[in-house]
Structure 1
Amino acid sequence: MRKILTFLTVVLIMFACKKVPITDRNQFNLIPNNQLNASSFSSYDQVMKESKLSSNSGQAQMIRTVGERIKNAVEVYLKENNLENATEGFKWEFNLIAENIVNAWCMPGGKVAFYEGILPICQDETGIAVVMGHEVAHAVAKHGGERMTQALAQQAGGITLSVLMREQPENAQALAMAAYSGVSTVGAILPFSRLHESEADELGLTFMALAGYNPEEAPKFWQRMKAKSGSAPPEFLSTHPASNTRIKDLNKLLPEAKKLYSKSQKATNNRIPNLSEISNSTSEKSEGKKEIQMKIGN
């Protein structure tokens, strides 16, 4: 009996082990994409219902435009490299939420949300592309499924996602949100989350370069984020790499990303207006509304 269980365990691991696109990191993920996406889409719809979407149509459109541009570049690259299954079943969506929160995220299946509070740090469309590429990378690399595999084993006693969704849908959704955001205990999920963040930085740099955005702006964005964050928690207690570590790693990756950017420039000629232009245009069209200032720290 023990031999049979060992054999089944080995088979399970073989089928559950996958490679992350581009980085080729071995990944243990037990969550089927269709179940993961179904849970993600339900959670995303709930967030959108409970949130107030931005009334600044220009900025909201910029989020969608940059998102579509990166999404298209990623899908072309994946197809050319026989990796199109990485985004199979995705239903891309890009929304801007009207809250002064310095944050953005992407759920499995391509469901992206930005908050207005991060736009001053982005400054322009390239800054948005830094964040967009990073968040899209989480979805393409299936980080949500990987986290949820760990969370199921840790918090649900090994129960499968399909059983949890059928018998305890509320707990399944809460577990999914925790997995997507990396919320769990120190020493278990958090160290892995730092790995995910570093991998998303690497993939995000590649994605923005493929879409025709200058990757040299990525370290600059994180420098601005560091200045905005002020006193940050120690790296070993954070789900994110320390800012200095992140900036150093991005600078090391720049040479290869710049090669991709140079190639993409030959096929990318369209220019997206920057945030200050969008803000000014919106203010002119909306009489009586306070002009939006897009300076860092506002």
Structure 2
Amino acid sequence: MSWLKYSALAIAIGVSACSSSPTGRNQLLLFSDSDMSNLGAQSFEQMKHQQKVSKDQKINNYVQCVATAVTRQVPKQPSFNDWEVVVFESDQINAFALPGGKIGVYTGLLNVAKNQDQLATVIGHEIAHVLADHSNERLSQSQLANTGLQITSIALGASDYAQYRDATMAALGLGVQVGVLLPYGRTQESEADIVGLELMARAGFDPKQSIALWQNMAKASKGQQPPELLSTHPSHGTRIQDLSQTMQRLPAYSAQKPNCQS
């Protein structure tokens, strides 16, 4: 790597070192909001072409109702105006949100998130990943782990995106294999739990249902979750304990409880 590239990287790191997450944690962010939104939009379009999109109007209306209630609590974002919600037909018990305001929910999640409050817990959590710039943080860390600065070109156009698709989608939390979601680190997951819980509570949903959700998740995993030390996700027990502590600090919000019918 030439001294000029080293200098450019040093300047970028120096500028980004001042970035902080919503919980006050220092972050390294090398990419702009616009770059990340473009990457998120490109990845989302690819997923809509590769995965089966649900046409069930009742399910779509229900998920959209919950997502809209949560996103109304999100400040206007500089790089996009609207949140797009798509329901994918899959047994996978998961959901995701991408930079650029893209939200995906798998129908399998609705078998575990038993009511609107539990679904709002998951959607709030995924939106929190976007608000906390976790994809940018992960992509920036991948950038530093690579020799040279070539990976920055993924933000420049469609051809570059195709060249670096695998690295980009991994940083956004999406696996190369269709339908596979890659977990964030434990710190990022815990941070998204905290921010997401506040979002759903502000929207009028019951934060106590977040505990029930993760109890359902524990049952659905059938004991297959690895020990916390070996997993990037917090264990279900740790997650429940942290959420309980966060709930005690939440103020009483006055928002009217949504009425989203499943």
Please confirm whether the aligned pair reaches a TM-score higher than 0.5, indicating the same fold: yes
In 1, Cα distance between equivalents of 2:130 and 2:151: 21
- Identify the residue that residue 128 of structure 1 maps to in structure 2: 119
Instruction: Tell me the residue number matched to 2:259.
Output: 271
Corresponding residue for residue 20 of structure 2: 19
Q: 2:248 aligns with which of 242, 247, 255?
A: 255
Are residues 1:201 and 2:193 paired? Answer: yes
CA distance in structure 2 between the partners assigned to 1:191 and 1:65 by the alignment: 26
- Tell me the amino acid that sits aligned with residue 151 of structure 1: S
Equivalent residue of 2:87, what SS?
strand
Give the structure-1-normalised TM-score: 0.76
108-117 or 10-19: which moved more? 10-19
Structure 1 gaps, min length 5: 76-83, 185-189, 276-298
Match of 2:144 among 145, 153, 166: 153
Superposed CA offset, 1:120-160 (max 9, x none): 11111111100000000001111011011111222464324
* Preserved contact between residue 104 and residue 115 of structure 1 (Cα < 8 Å): yes
Asked if the contact 2:85–2:103 (Cα under 8 Å) also holds between the matched residues in 1, the reply is yes
Question: Is 1:96 matched up with 2:84?
Answer: no
Aligned partner of residue 249 in structure 1, secondary structure: helix
Counterpart in the other structure of 1:232: 225
Letter in 2 for 1:70: V
**Amino acid in the other structure paired with 1:37:** S
Q: Distance in 2 between matches of 1:247 and 1:41?
A: 32
String of CA shifts for 1:249-293, please: whole Å, max 9, x gaps.
111111122x2xx323xx4154222x2xxxxxxxxxxxxxxxxxx
Letter in 2 for 1:88: P
- Pairwise CA distance, 1:65: 1.3
- Letter in structure 2 aligned against 1:179: A
**Conserved 8 A contact 2:210-2:243:** yes
| Runs of 5+ consecutive residues of structure 2 not aligned to the other structure | 177-181
Shift in alpha-carbon separation, 1:162–1:119, aligned structure 2, 3 A? same
Alignment-derived partner of residue 44 in structure 1: 44
The reply to whether residue 219 of structure 1 matches residue 220 of structure 2 is: no
Cα deviation for residue 214 of structure 1 reads 0.8
TM-aligned CA distance change 1:99 to 1:269, over 3 Å: closer
Structure 2 vs 1, CA of residues 19 and 58 (structure 1 numbering), >3 Å: closer, same or farther? Answer: same
The one-letter code sitting in structure 1 at the alignment partner of 2:123 is M
SS across alignment from 1:28: coil
Task: Tell whether the 8 Å contact from 2:5 to 2:148 is kept in structure 1 after alignment.
Answer: no
Matched, 1:137 2:128: yes
SS at structure 2 position matched to 1:26: coil
Instruction: Supply the distance in 1 between the matched residues of 2:221 and 2:246 (Cα, whole angstroms).
Output: 24
* Contact 2:139-2:171 within 8 A present in 1 as well: yes
Q: Which residue of the partner structure matches residue 69 of structure 2? A: 69
State the one-letter code of the partner of 1:142: D
Structure-2 residue corresponding to 1:28: 28
Count, aligned residues: 251
Deviation readout 1:197-243 (Å, 9 max, x if unpaired): 01000101110011111111111100110111122112233221111
The answer to whether the Cα contact below 8 Å between 1:35 and 1:161 also exists between their aligned partners in 2 is no
Would you say the 8 A contact 2:38–2:155 is kept in 1?
Answer: no
Deviation at 1:62, TM superposition (A): 1.3
Partner Cα distance (1:170, 1:234) in 2: 36
Cα gap change, 1:269 to 1:239, in 2 (>3 Å):
closer
Letter of the structure 1 residue corresponding to residue 233 of structure 2: H
Distance 1:256 1:52, change over 3 A: same
Write the letter of the residue equivalent to 2:172. Answer: Y
